[in-house]
């Protein structure tokens, strides 16, 4: 079984970005979105860090929190060969009921790709009735149908 990371969130978080499960590279690095070709941190840098690269993961987390953004995954545990979400089996969800109850400032969920939404909906459908949410194109390098510029343009209005 592989295990997701703890959430990046604080009492001021208003927008929670929801992924599926960290990739092999992310698990090795013990950091969200650690694959160098994943567009997630490039999008955040373009919108909140003057396009500059982040020095380290601590700076990335600080940037999210300073801009009232949070991060977590739909799943807490699963079996998976490789990094593709389509290979996930025997999944167990993260506890979003408790997380959202403890962080009432969260007003919007942004799903990083369809699989993140699919797993969230499977286990937490009632939360979708009372929380604004959007399903955005995955930032994964496997989602090559969108360029980085396209992803930045599409994600930008939802992150503000």
Instruction: Return d(Cα 69, Cα 45) in angstroms, integer.
Output: 13
Instruction: Return the bridge partners of 132, or none.
Output: 108
CB atoms within 10 A of CB 66: 11
Q: Active site includes 143?
A: no
| Structure-block tokens of residue 109 | 């969920």
Strand residue runs (E) in the chain: 2-3, 15-19, 69-73, 75-79, 89-93, 108-112, 132-136
∠ CA(16), CA(115), CA(45), 5° rounding? 45
Q: What are the φ/ψ torsions at residue 71 (nearest 5 degrees)?
A: -150, 135
The single residue of 10, 38, 67, 94 carrying the catalytic annotation is 38
| Structure-block tokens of residue 120 | 């969230």
Q: Which positions are catalytic?
A: 38
């Amino acid at each position: 079984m592989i295990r997701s990371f703890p959430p990046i969130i604080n009492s001021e978080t208003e927008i929670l970005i929801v992924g599926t499960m960290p990739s092999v590279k992310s698990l090795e690095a013990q950091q969200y979105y650690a694959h160098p070709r994943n567009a997630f941190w490039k999008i955040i840098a373009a919108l909140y860090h003057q396009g500059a690269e982040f020095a380290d993961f601590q700076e990335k987390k600080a940037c999210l929190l300073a801009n009232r953004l949070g991060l977590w995954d739909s799943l807490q545990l699963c079996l998976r060969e490789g990094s593709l979400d389509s290979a996930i089996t025997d999944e167990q969800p993260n506890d979003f009921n408790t997380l959202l109850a403890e962080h009432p400032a969260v007003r919007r969920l942004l799903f990083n790709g369809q699989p993140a939404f699919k797993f969230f909906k499977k286990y937490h459908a009632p939360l979708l009735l009372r929380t604004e949410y959007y399903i955005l194109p995955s930032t994964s390098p496997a989602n090559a149908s969108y360029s980085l510029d396209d992803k930045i343009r599409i994600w930008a209005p939802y992150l503000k």
